[in-house]
Structure 1
Amino acid sequence: MDIKLIALDMDGTLLNSEGAISNFNREKIAQALAKDVHVVLSTGRWFNTCYPYAESLKLPSFLITCNGGEIWTVEQELKERHLLDPERVKLMWELAKSMELNTWMISTDKVWYSSGPDDFSAHEWLKFGCDSDDKEKLDTIVKELSHYDDLELTNSLPTNIEVNPQGVSKASALNTVCKEIGIGMENVMAVGDSLNDIKMIQDAGIGVAMGNAQEAIKQAADSVTDTNNHHGVGKAIEKFVL
């Protein structure tokens, strides 16, 4: 497989449990870049919390943020953005609070933790999230939100759900990036650990699940690498790209 782009999830994948990139991962990413292979962070995080990592790795092209809700260049130019309906965000926030779930919401200007604005329509919304250790509560809110066909439901941990506009995913954003670069998804290696990674892992030429990935991701992947605390990303790059 002629891999020309490596798409990397961040939390639970590129980053170890301390939120750092290991020296081994850095070395293998640098070697891939030296071979003119694009390396793209494809994350549920918003731009401000992933750009410093891209900068430290000297990545040259694109960033996929908010589960595909935005595509940026490393020159901080916004290429694409998909927004949730403010009224829908308000509904989700009120439902989650009534169920005593922890919430976070990403607008274009900030991340809202366990709080909401007085006027939801005064902001542009990229992603909604909530979490709980109570699986029954999570199942209930997923069931409630599944009635709305304008929402894309996924997760980044078994204990949370994340919501984007319908049709928005890391895979759809990667397709756009591939067109910009002039390659196909068959030239992509995608690496991740959670349900918000599954579509890009399925669509990529080589889909790699982390050793710490949710079981469904391992089943969907072409290969399973080591865990995020044992340089799984670097080992996958070494195996399939270098």
Structure 2
Amino acid sequence: MNVKLIALDLDGTTLNSQNQLTEKTKEALIKAAHLGIVVVPVTGRCYKSLPQELLELDGGNCIRYAVVSNGAEIRDAQSGEILYKNYIDPLGAEEIKNILQKEALMIEIYVKGSAHIERSYYEKLEQGQISYRSRDYVLTTRVPVRGVIHLLDVHKTQIEKVAVYFEPDSLQSKIKEALADVKHAHITSSAKNNVELIAENCSKARTLEKLCENLGIDLNEVMAAGDSQNDLEMLAAADIAVAMENADENVKARADFVAASNDCDGLAQAIMKFI
């Protein structure tokens, strides 16, 4: 099969546990791009949280497009121009706000390409008081604000994603059940300690399909790699589905090939095998 596009989840897949690109991964991505293959990050991250190291590969010639916020946007990776958008319905934003404003939870609101977090949680992470999030990652990619929940009112027509984080297996994790009842948004997850809400008909897979249509590429010419629940539909849509060894068990069960873990250059292994 002739692969024309590689769709890459970032955290837990393209990036290692230190949120870094290894040299082998860089080399594999650049080789693929030099063969004329379109390399596309398809991630839960918002645009402004994309690693500059990735965007600057091969002088900025490796990554041309990015699917961000679990499919809420397609961006020109270099200019940041929004090429496609699918935001949460204002009715969904209102439902989410009515549930979350009653809870003391770490909430992130994705809007205008940035991920916003309540300042008090940002400061607790800064002081090392929270262990269930990566301190350095949050401090370098999140915008602290006071009253983050109010962004759901202020920007109710532009909400890309809402993410909620909690201690794994804690009482707070019951918020999943409450949010599952939201009628005007789609619920997914990228980790055991979070739940994410996006537009009703939105997913990584559907937005990737939009991008492929615009590029004249068929889904049977796509290789996709991922590790989490929010990657399942994308792996199902692609002709070649690759899961990392560190992936959730149901993700590995869906894959055509299980590569080494993200800390052992699994993505580079998969690219060299199939490309």
What amino acid is aligned across from residue 201 of structure 2 in structure 1? G
- What is the CA distance between 1:153 and its match in structure 2? 1.0
| Residue 205 (structure 1) aligned with residue 233 (structure 2) | no
* Of 17-26 and 127-136, the range deviating more from structure 2: 127-136
- What is the CA distance between 1:97 and its match in structure 2? 5.2
What amino acid is aligned across from residue 40 of structure 1 in structure 2? V
Equivalence map 1:97-112=2 (5 Å): 98-108=102-112, 110-112=114-116
- Normalised by the length of structure 2, the TM-score is 0.81
CA deviation profile, 1:15-50 (whole Å, cap 9, x unmatched)? 111111000000011111111011000111111111
What amino acid is aligned across from residue 73 of structure 2 in structure 1? E
Aligned to 2:148: 116
Structure 1 residue aligned with 2:88, among 71, 84, 89?
84
- Normalised by the length of structure 1, the TM-score is 0.92
DSSP-derived class of the 1:11 partner: coil
DSSP-derived class of the 1:196 partner: helix
Structure 2 vs 1, CA of residues 227 and 149 (structure 1 numbering), >3 Å: closer, same or farther? same
User: How far apart, in 2, do the equivalents of 1:117 and 1:195 lie?
Assistant: 25
CA deviation profile, 1:121-155 (whole Å, cap 9, x unmatched)? 32121100112124364663232222233211111
| Residue 63 (structure 1) aligned with residue 71 (structure 2) | no
What amino acid is aligned across from residue 81 of structure 1 in structure 2? K
Aligned to 2:125: none
Structure 2 vs 1, CA of residues 157 and 117 (structure 1 numbering), >3 Å: closer, same or farther? closer
DSSP-derived class of the 1:209 partner: strand
Gaps of 5+ in 2: 119-146
Contact kept, 8 Å, 1:99 with 1:137, in 2: the verdict is: no
Structure 2 vs 1, CA of residues 168 and 6 (structure 1 numbering), >3 Å: closer, same or farther? same
DSSP-derived class of the 1:10 partner: coil
Structure 2 vs 1, CA of residues 135 and 236 (structure 1 numbering), >3 Å: closer, same or farther? same
Aligned residues, how many?
241
* Of 90-99 and 47-56, the range deviating more from structure 2: 90-99
Structure 2 vs 1, CA of residues 137 and 189 (structure 1 numbering), >3 Å: closer, same or farther? farther
Contact kept, 8 Å, 1:105 with 1:127, in 2: the verdict is: yes
- What is the CA distance between 1:216 and its match in structure 2? 1.2
CA deviation profile, 1:52-90 (whole Å, cap 9, x unmatched)? 244222324311000000001233221111112345335
DSSP-derived class of the 2:263 partner: helix
Aligned to 1:143: 177
* Of 230-239 and 116-125, the range deviating more from structure 2: 116-125
* Of 129-138 and 157-166, the range deviating more from structure 2: 129-138
